[in-house]
Structure 1
Amino acid sequence: MIDIRDLTVRFADTTVLDIPALTVPDAAVTYLLGLNGTGKSTLLRCVCGIIGPATGTIQVDGVPVRAGRATPAGLGMHLDYRAFDPRHTARRHLRWITRSCGLPAGRVAEVLDATGLADVADQRLAQFSLGMLQRVGIAAALLSRPRTVLLDEPLNGLDIAGIHWMRGLLRELADAGSCVLVTSHLLDEAERNADRVVVLGAGRVLADAPLPEFVPAGDRLEDAYLRITGAAA
């Protein structure tokens, strides 16, 4: 579970996040939605401790997050498909993470298999497509068997088969009790797979509700989203 209280983040003199309270529950797939520049990626980076807030607290499974310190052990993340050394292979990249985090070496083969990368594990990452790089990042996020998983736009670059696989993975994680927080602009996919939606606008939470409450009966997520963000204009 992610618990956020009285969070503000400022860049120079600009407040980019102002969130009095937000709880992302366990055993659910929560989609974090919002227009570009509304603070979605910034929020994920705060939860990971990459960015320090000006005020407020963040806890992951009851463990306070401190900027610049070790990420809570139960947190797995994939925030940027470009964060790889292109000279490495997928296997080498994952082995490096296991060694640096003190994780069992056997997890590398397990996550390679789980993400469909076993057959290309020894190819250099420079040869990988965007969709394949997304799978490498997701494999890395799963190495520690995390109870909380953060994924920033993981559907970008995935083909139809990849999206179908991702949908199943997110559901499997949530059904096993994990807290899953995903950013995406693919509202059709969120409508298909989300248990809960959080909508950001101008750094503030505009909506935080189970999907059936956010989307009235007979309506579409896209319509509800456009109404609350004012993006239809």
Structure 2
Amino acid sequence: MIEIRGLTVRYAGTTVLDIPETTVPDAAVTYLLGLNGTGKSTLLRCVCGIIAPATGTIHVDGTRVRAGHSTPAGLGMHLDHRAFDPHHTARRHLRWIARARGLAPDRVAEVLDTTALTEVADRRLGQYSLGMLQRVGIAAALLTRPHTLLLDEPLNGLDIAGIHWMRGLLRELADAGTCVLVTSHLLDEAERNADRVVVLGPGQLLADAPLPEFLRAHDATRLEDAYLCVTNGHPS
């Protein structure tokens, strides 16, 4: 579970993110939606302790997140598909992370299998497609068997089969009790798989509700219509 209270982030004196309060629950897939520049990635980086907020608190599974300190043990994350050494193989990359986090080496083989990378695990990452790099990042996020999982645009670069696989993986994790928070611009996919949606406008919280409740509040049957309504992209 992620608990955010009184969170503000400022750059050069300008407030770029202001979230009075929200809770991302366990056992659910929550989609974080919003246009580019509305603060989605900034929020995930605050939750991970990469960015220090100007004010407010964040707790992950009851542990307060403090920027620059160690990552909460139950938190897994994939925030950037470019954060790889192209000369490493997937297996080497995952083994390095496992050692750094004090995990058993056997776990690497398990996540390679989960993400369907076993057959290409010894190929250099520089030869991987974007979709394959996304799978490596997801494998790394799963190494700790996280209770809270953050994924920033994980569907980018995935083909239809990959998106179908991702949908099933997120649902399986949530059904097992994991708190899953995903950013995406693919509203159709969010509509298929979200239990809850959080919508950001320019630096502020516009909506935070279970998907059925969000749709009812805007007299909509499609997520796209409700999203456009709350973001003023289309008249209600």
TM-score where L is the length of structure 1: 0.99
Q: Deviations over 1:32-77 (max 9, x none)?
A: 0001100000000000000000000000000000001110000000
Retained in 1: the 8 A contact 2:197–2:207? yes
Question: Is structure 2 residue 148 aligned with structure 1 residue 148?
Answer: yes
**Equivalent in the alignment of 1:121:** 121
- Cα deviation for residue 202 of structure 1 reads 1.1
**Equivalent in the alignment of 1:49:** 49
Retained in 1: the 8 A contact 2:98–2:105? yes
| Local SS of the residue matching 1:97 | helix
Retained in 1: the 8 A contact 2:49–2:69? yes
What are the within-5 Å matches in structure 2 for residues 155-194 of structure 1? 155-194=155-194
Distance 1:218 1:14, change over 3 A: closer
Structure 2's unaligned 5+ residue stretches are none
Alpha-carbon distance in structure 2 between the residues aligned to 1:133 and 1:215:
34
Q: Deviations over 1:133-178 (max 9, x none)?
A: 0000000000000000000000000000000000000000000000
Alpha-carbon distance in structure 1 between the residues aligned to 2:44 and 2:205:
14
Question: Is structure 2 residue 54 aligned with structure 1 residue 66?
Answer: no
**Equivalent in the alignment of 1:103:** 103
| Local SS of the residue matching 1:227 | helix
Alpha-carbon distance in structure 2 between the residues aligned to 1:11 and 1:55:
13
Alpha-carbon distance in structure 1 between the residues aligned to 2:161 and 2:99:
32
Aligned residues: 233
| Local SS of the residue matching 1:81 | coil
Runs of 4+ deviating beyond 4 Å:
none
Structure 1's unaligned 5+ residue stretches are none
**Equivalent in the alignment of 1:213:** 213
Retained in 1: the 8 A contact 2:220–2:226? no
| Local SS of the residue matching 2:150 | strand
TM-score where L is the length of structure 2: 0.97
Alpha-carbon distance in structure 1 between the residues aligned to 2:171 and 2:44:
20
| Local SS of the residue matching 1:215 | helix
Alpha-carbon distance in structure 1 between the residues aligned to 2:126 and 2:220:
46
**Equivalent in the alignment of 1:228:** 230
Question: Is structure 2 residue 123 aligned with structure 1 residue 131?
Answer: no
Q: RMSD of the TM alignment (CA)?
A: 0.9
- Cα deviation for residue 231 of structure 1 reads 2.3
| Local SS of the residue matching 1:164 | helix
Q: Which amino acid aligns with 1:48?
A: C
Q: Which amino acid aligns with 1:28?
A: A
- Cα deviation for residue 218 of structure 1 reads 5.7
Alpha-carbon distance in structure 1 between the residues aligned to 2:131 and 2:85:
16
